[in-house]
Amino acid sequence: MKFYPATVSQQAIPLPLYDDRVPAGFPSPAADYIDKPIDLNELLIAHPAATYFVRVAGDSMVGIGIFDGSLLLVDSSIRPKHNDIIIACLGGEFTVKRYVTHPRTRLLAENPAYPPIELHEGEDLETFGVVKFVINEAR
């Protein structure tokens, strides 16, 4: 994994936000006007000092749209809870996995080719944040 700090620009870069949502089902005619500009820093980064990006290597999370090369926006100020996607360090190795606490604590891949990682009492799991957003190239 490659880690990158999230730098928040002091100067807003307004991008157009169209008022209508894009249908994912049967298409309907869209309104052709822009509602208001949107600031991605404001939308994506709640805690700038605790936010970073990390690039994914591998295919263990493809079932939820996290692919080899995906860029993850991670907030390290959030305490992980059941079912969160987290960045963790286990045995000196970084990984991105689903954090499950019920019925027992485990890290789950989202690819059936990878077995769950069972966490046992006294095992050193260090969390480095909760994945808030996944950025993939669509083309």
Catalytic residues: 60, 97
Rg from Cα positions in the chain: 18
Task: Tell me the helix, strand and coil percentages in the chain, rounded to 5.
Answer: 10, 40, 55
What's the rounded Cα separation, in Å, for the pair 43 and 82?
Answer: 24
Residue with tokens 């994506």: 44
